[in-house]
C-alpha cells in the first residue's frame, strides 16, 4: 500500500513518463519516414544516426556527477525539457548533420530521464511494490504512446513534418517545465552514494543489462526499418501499428509487474528470451508484412519484461547503490548501442537477415544467463499482501 509520502513521487513520475513517451514515440514514428523521404538516407545512414542516438545512453554514468550539483528529481524534469527541445527542432534542420544534432539533443533528454526514473522508482518504492509501479508506469507510457500516435495522425492531415515535430516537442517541453516546479521527495530514503559503483556481486546484473541493450538496438533500429524499407509501410500505417502495439502494452504491462511479483525474475526473463529467439528468426525469414507487423508487436511486449532485470538488482543490491548502479547499468546497456546500429547497418547492406540472426543468437545467450538469477532475500511484502491492496488503490493513485 502506498504511503502519503510516496504519492507525490508517483504523480511526478507519471507525468514525466507520459511526457517522455509522447516525445520518444512521436520522434520514433516520424523518424524513419522523415529520414527516407526528406533526407534520402539508406540503411547505412539510418544505422549511423541510431548509433549517434545511443551515445548519451553510453554516457549515462555521468548523471552520477551531474547529481552532485542538481537534485535527482530536478535532473529528471530538466531531461524531459531537453527531450522536448530536441524533438521540436528536428524538422527545422532537414539534413544529415541537422538530424544528427537533434537526435543527440533529444537522446540526452530521454536517456537521462530513464536513468533517474528507474533510480527514483527503486528508491521510493519497496521490493514488493516496485514491480507493480513499474508495470503501471509502463502501461501509462503505452497509453501516452497511443495519444502521441493519434496526435501525429491528426497533425499529419494538415501539417508537414516541421509543424508536427514542433507541436510534439512543445508539449513535452511544457511538461518538463512543470516538473522543474515540483518537489516530490521525502527524507525517508537511503542517501545515495555520489560516485560510480562497480561491484562483483552485481556481475549478473551487468551481463543481463548489456545483453538487453544489444537486443534492444536490433528491435529499435532494424525491426522498424524492416517494416518501412522491405515491406513499404507508410507513415499512416506505422502510426496505426504504433497505436495497436501500445494498446496491447497498455493492457498487459500491469500484468507483467504482477507476474514478476508472483513468479519471480528468473521465470519471467526466461519467457522473454525464449520468445526473442523465435521473433528474430521470424523477422529474418518471413515474406509476409502482416507476420512482420505481428512480430513487432510481440517483440515490444516481451521487451517490457526487461523490468525484471531492475527489480532483480533491487533484491540483491544495497539501497545506497541504487542511483549510481542505475546510471552504470544504463551505460553498460548502451555499450553495444554505440557500435551495433552502425555495424548492423553495414551488415544489412550485405544481407538484411544478418542483424536478425545476430539478435536470435543474443537471445540464446540471454536465456542461458537468466538461469543464474537468484534473489538473496524475499520482498518485504508477499504477493498476497501486495496485489489486493495495490489493485484496490491503483485507480485512485494513478
The predicted structure's pLDDT at residue 367: 92
Q: Compare 196 and 344 and report the one with higher pLDDT.
A: 344
* Per-residue pLDDT at 265 exceeds 70: yes
Residue 337: pLDDT band with limits 50, 70, 90? low
Q: How high is the pLDDT of residue 365?
A: 92
DSSP 352: T
Q: In Å, what is the CA distance from 305 to each residue of 71, 135, 203, 265, 271?
A: 29, 9, 20, 9, 9
Choose the weakest-confidence range: 227-231, 270-274, 362-366: 227-231
State yes or no: pLDDT of 24 exceeds 80: yes
- pLDDT tens-digit readout, 31-84: 777 877 787 776 667 767 777 777 777 677 777 777 777 888 889 899 999 999
Residue with cell 544495497: 318
Percent of the chain with pLDDT over 90: 16
Note whether 164 and 156 are within 8 A (CB).
yes
Residues 205-254: pLDDT tens digits?
889 988 888 887 787 778 888 888 888 888 778 778 877 877 888 888 88
pLDDT for residue 220: 74
Per-residue cell: 97: 548533420
CB 197 within 8 A of CB 63: no
| pLDDT on residue 196 | 66
Distance CA 281, CA 358 (A): 9
Percent of the chain at pLDDT above 70?
87
pLDDT > 50? residue 388 = no
Closest to 115 measured CA to CA, from 181, 167, 59? 59
Domains and CATH numbers, the chain: 7-182+198-388 (1.20.1250.20)
Distance of CA 297 to the CA centre of its chain: 15
The string of DSSP letters for 63-108 reads HHHHTTTS-HHHHHHHHHHHHHHHHHTGGG--SHHHHHHHHHHHHH
Report the chain's C-alpha Rg in angstroms.
Answer: 20
Highest mean pLDDT among 75-89, 320-334, 373-387: 75-89
CA distance 115 to 122: 11
Can you give the pLDDT at residue 191?
61
What is the distance, to the nearest Å, from the Cα of residue 363 to the centroid of all Cα atoms in its chain? 18
End-to-end CA distance of the chain: 13
What pLDDT, in 10s, does the model give residues 208-220?
988 888 887 787 7
Runs of H (alpha helix) within the chain:
7-34, 43-58, 63-66, 72-88, 96-124, 130-155, 161-180, 203-217, 224-225, 235-263, 265-285, 289-303, 307-316, 322-333, 335-350, 354-370, 383-397
Q: What is the DSSP letter of 158?
A: T
Place of cell 518537489: 183
What's the pLDDT band for 398 if we cut at 50, 70, 90?
very low
Question: How many angstroms separate the CA atoms of 229 and 222, rounded?
Answer: 10
Whether residue 277 is predicted with pLDDT greater than 90 in this model: the reply is yes
Whether the predicted model's global pTM rises above the 0.75 cut: no
The confidence score (pLDDT) of residue 189 equals 65
Question: Region 149-162: what's the mean pLDDT?
Answer: 84
What is the DSSP-derived secondary structure letter of residue 62? G
Do 133 and 125 contact (CB within 8 A), yes or no? yes
The mean pLDDT of the chain is: 80
CA atoms within 13 A on the CB side of 23: 37
Q: Please choose, from the candidates 301, 276, 118, the residue with its C-alpha nearest in 3D space to the C-alpha of residue 211.
A: 276
Show the cell assigned to 379. 520482498
Q: How far is residue 221's CA from residue 340's CA, in Å, rounded to a whole number?
A: 10
Collapsing DSSP to helix, strand or coil, 229 comes out as: helix
CA dihedral over 309, 310, 312, 316, signed as positive or negative: positive
Q: At CA 122, angle to CA 191 and CA 396, rounded to 5?
A: 120
CA-wise closest residue to 312 among 229, 239, 385, 204: 204
How does DSSP classify residue 190? P
The per-residue pLDDT for range 288-313, each reduced to its tens digit, is: 888 988 898 898 888 888 888 888 88
Amino acid at each position: 500500500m502506498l504511503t502519503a509520502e510516496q504519492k507525490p513521487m508517483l504523480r511526478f513520475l507519471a507525468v514525466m513518463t507520459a511526457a517522455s513517451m509522447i516525445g520518444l514515440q512521436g520522434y520514433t514514428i516520424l523518424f524513419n519516414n522523415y529520414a527516407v523521404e526528406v533526407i534520402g538516407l539508406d540503411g547505412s545512414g539510418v544505422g549511423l544516426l541510431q548509433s549517434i542516438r545511443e551515445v548519451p545512453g553510453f554516457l549515462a554514468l555521468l548523471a552520477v556527477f551531474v547529481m552532485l550539483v542538481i537534485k535527482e528529481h530536478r535532473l529528471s524534469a530538466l531531461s524531459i525539457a531537453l527531450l522536448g527541445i530536441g524533438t521540436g527542432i528536428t524538422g527545422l534542420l532537414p539534413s544529415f548533420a541537422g538530424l544528427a544534432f537533434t537526435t543527440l539533443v533529444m537522446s540526452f533528454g530521454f536517456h537521462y530521464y530513464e536513468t533517474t526514473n528507474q533510480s527514483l522508482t527503486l528508491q521510493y518504492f519497496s521490493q514488493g511494490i516496485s514491480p507493480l509501479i513499474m508495470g503501471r508506469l509502463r502501461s501509462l507510457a503505452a497509453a501516452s504512446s497511443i495519444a502521441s500516435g493519434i496526435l501525429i495522425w491528426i497533425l499529419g492531415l494538415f501539417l508537414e513534418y516541421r509543424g508536427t515535430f514542433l507541436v510534439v516537442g512543445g508539449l513535452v517541453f511544457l511538461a518538463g517545465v512543470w516538473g522543474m516546479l515540483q518537489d516530490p521527495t521525502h527524507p525517508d530514503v537511503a542517501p545515495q552514494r555520489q560516485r560510480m559503483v562497480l561491484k562483483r556481486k552485481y556481475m549478473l546484473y551487468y551481463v543481463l543489462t548489456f545483453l538487453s541493450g544489444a537486443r534492444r538496438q536490433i528491435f529499435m533500429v532494424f525491426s522498424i526499418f524492416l517494416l518501412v524499407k522491405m515491406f513499404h509501410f507508410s507513415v499512416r500505417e506505422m502510426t496505426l501499428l504504433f497505436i495497436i502495439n501500445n494498446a496491447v502494452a497498455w493492457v498487459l504491462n500491469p500484468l507483467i509487474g504482477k507476474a514478476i511479483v508472483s513468479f519471480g525474475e528468473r521465470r519471467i526473463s526466461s519467457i522473454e528470451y525464449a520468445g526473442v529467439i523465435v521473433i528474430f528468426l521470424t523477422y529474418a525469414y518471413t515474406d509476409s508484412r502482416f507476420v512482420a507487423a505481428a512480430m513487432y508487436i510481440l517483440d515490444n511486449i516481451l521487451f517490457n519484461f526487461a523490468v525484471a532485470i531492475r527489480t532483480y538488482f533491487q533484491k540483491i543490491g544495497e539501497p545506497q547503490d541504487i542511483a549510481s548502479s542505475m546510471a552504470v547499468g544504463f551505460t553498460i546497456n548502451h555499450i553495444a548501442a554505440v557500435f551495433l546500429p552502425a555495424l548492423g547497418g553495414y551488415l544489412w547492406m550485405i544481407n538484411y537477415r544478418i542483424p536478425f540472426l545476430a539478435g536470435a543468437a543474443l537471445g540464446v545467450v540471454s536465456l542461458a544467463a537468466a538461469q543464474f538469477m537468484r534473489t538473496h532475500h524475499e520482498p518485504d511484502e508477499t504477493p498476497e499482501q501486495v496485489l489486493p491492496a495495490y489493485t484496490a488503490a491503483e485507480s485512485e493513485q494513478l
